[in-house]
């Protein structure tokens, strides 16, 4: 270990760790993490130990090791609490919220974020405050409350602009793009994503770039610009792989499957969905695996492969029956499974799934108080319009 000022050495180690994270160099991050722990142990500094624990929890979270990440973040919270560091405690609480959110445990995530937000504000930590506001936006987006989500994202964007934080602005713009996309406002979404991508390229945030590339693939698919969509999906998948985000890779494969289905390419969609399901199941991303299985069921239905379509739809329905899931994607999941059930002779079960799809969709729509946004949500997003039409006509022919 290099001898010198321990504080400076520890700060440099943290900076190297974070820089390596932006570049997706996970193995080198692990090595830097060990240096941080060694310095903390050598000095007996509990604040350094807690900071190293936060770094470890973040790396475990990025690698999909969610149970271990949660345990590590709770350990960091305990250390910060013991030394009376309210800002550090808030940081640990926010990381716990991140882990719950990626698992689809939105109520738990929201509680953790609100606790963190109160502590950050009490400490006057604006960076902590703004990141927590952004994360609350993600939670409300996951629950289908787009108005609340947009409000939180706009609050975050304003603070990041005030702080001249270009990476933060890119994050908020990307999230606002997702809200626009969920409302069927695809041109606005595309512009938001592109602006965000440009900002994140300036600061070298490769993981953030991967997310925006994925979203650009999705929105170009919705606009039927399929060649551009495929290009963005490939770029996103490559970057997710390079930064070690397997959940991001799987999400890219899943959304690519939907786009392939829209093009009338069900065989290619089967391959994409199958890869996505395998990764989600390996990562124990159960709600995501259920959504990918529903897409897989639709692809098999389009191919006329009854046994495979039935199995995939049953896997999706069995998963959502186990426990709570976020509102995002749930109406579409039920709708796709309803089509399979109707096609293969289970009309009562099919109508029950359709009823669940419609009621779930309308519950999301009812949270949107602006009538124009509500109308966009129900009419401009194709699958939403299909659900409403199928429910009103009681017809579940593949649309």
Which tens digits make up the pLDDT trace of 102-131? 888 889 999 999 999 999 999 999 999 999
Signed CA dihedral, 307, 311, 313, 317: sign only: positive
What integer is the mean pLDDT of 41-52?
Answer: 93
Sign of CA dihedral 244, 247, 248, 249: positive
| Ramachandran bin of 51, using left for φ above 0, alpha for ψ from -120 to 50, beta for the remaining angles | alpha
Could you tell me the two tokens for 299?
């692809």
286-300 pLDDT per residue, tens: 889 999 999 999 999
Domains of the chain, first to last: 45-161 (1.25.40.10), 165-244 (1.25.40.10), 273-399 (1.25.40)
Q: If pLDDT is split at 50, 70 and 90, which confidence band does 27 have?
A: confident
Write down the pLDDT at residue 157.
97
Q: Which of 48, 38, 107 is nearest to 76 (CA)?
A: 48
CB 94 within 8 A of CB 131: yes
Question: How far does Cα 285 stand from its chain's mean position?
Answer: 11
Nearest alpha carbon to residue 335 among 232, 259, 258 = 258
| Residue with tokens 């609350």, as numbered in its chain | 136
User: How much is the average pLDDT of 296-310?
Assistant: 97
pLDDT at 324: 57
At residue 312 the predicted structure's pLDDT band, cuts being 50, 70 and 90, is: very high
Contact 36, 48 (CB under 8 A): yes
Is 274 a residue whose pLDDT tops 60? yes
User: What is the predicted pLDDT for the residue at 124?
Assistant: 94
Q: How far is CA 156 from the centre of its chain?
A: 18
Q: Helices (H), strands (E): how many in the chain?
A: 20, 0
Per the CB < 8 A criterion, the answer to whether 338 and 386 are in contact is no
State the greatest distance between any 2 C-alpha atoms of the chain, in Å, as a whole number: 76
| Dihedral over alpha carbons 308, 314, 317, 323 (to 10 degrees) | -120
Could you give the CA distance from residue 102 to residue 105 in angstroms, rounded to a whole number?
7
What does residue 284 show for φ and ψ, rounded to 5 degrees? 60, 35
pLDDT of 1 > 60? The answer is: no
pLDDT in tens, 349-369: 999 999 999 999 999 899 888
The angle subtended at Cα 329 by Cα 65 and Cα 182, nearest 5°, is 110
Which of 192, 191, 161 lies closest to 174, judged by CA?
192
């Amino acid at each position: 270990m290099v001898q010198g000022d321990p504080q400076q050495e520890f700060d440099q180690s943290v900076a190297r760790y974070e820089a390596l994270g932006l570049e997706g160099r996970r193995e080198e991050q692990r090595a830097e993490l060990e240096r941080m722990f060694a310095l903390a142990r050598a000095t007996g500094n509990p604040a350094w130990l807690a900071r190293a624990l936060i770094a470890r929890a973040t790396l475990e979270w990025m690698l999909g090791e969610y149970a271990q990440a949660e345990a590590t973040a709770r350990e960091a919270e305990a250390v910060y609490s013991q030394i009376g560091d309210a800002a550090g405690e808030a940081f640990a609480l926010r990381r716990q919220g991140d882990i719950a959110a990626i698992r689809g445990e939105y109520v738990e995530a929201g509680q953790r974020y609100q606790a963190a937000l109160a502590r950050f504000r009490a400490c006057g930590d604006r960076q902590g405050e703004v990141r927590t506001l952004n994360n609350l936006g993600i939670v409300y987006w996951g629950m289908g409350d787009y108005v609340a989500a947009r409000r939180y994202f706009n609050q975050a964007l304003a603070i990041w602009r005030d702080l001249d934080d270009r990476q933060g602005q890119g994050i908020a713009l990307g999230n606002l793009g997702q809200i626009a996309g969920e409302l069927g406002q695809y041109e606005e979404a595309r512009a938001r994503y592109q602006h965000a991508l440009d900002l994140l390229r300036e600061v070298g945030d490769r993981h953030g770039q991967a997310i925006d590339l994925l979203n650009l693939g999705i929105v170009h698919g919705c606009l039927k610009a399929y060649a551009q969509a495929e290009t963005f999906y490939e770029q996103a998948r490559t970057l997710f792989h390079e930064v070690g985000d397997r959940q991001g890779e799987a999400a890219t494969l899943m959304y690519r499957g939907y786009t392939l289905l829209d093009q009338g390419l069900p065989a290619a969609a089967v391959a994409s969905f199958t890869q996505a399901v395998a990764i989600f199941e390996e990562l124990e991303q159960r709600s995501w695996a259920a959504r990918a299985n529903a897409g897989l069921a639709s692809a098999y239905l389009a191919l006329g492969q009854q046994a495979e379509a039935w199995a995939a739809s049953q896997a999706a329905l069995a998963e959502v029956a186990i426990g709570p899931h976020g509102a995002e994607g749930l109406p579409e999941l039920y709708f796709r499974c309803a089509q399979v059930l109707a096609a293969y002779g289970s009309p009562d079960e099919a109508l029950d799934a359709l009823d669940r799809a419609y009621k779930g969709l309308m519950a999301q729509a009812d949270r949107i108080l602006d009538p124009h946004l509500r109308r966009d949500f129900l009419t401009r997003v194709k699958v939403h319009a299909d659900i409403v039409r199928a429910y009103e006509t009681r017809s579940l022919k593949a649309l």
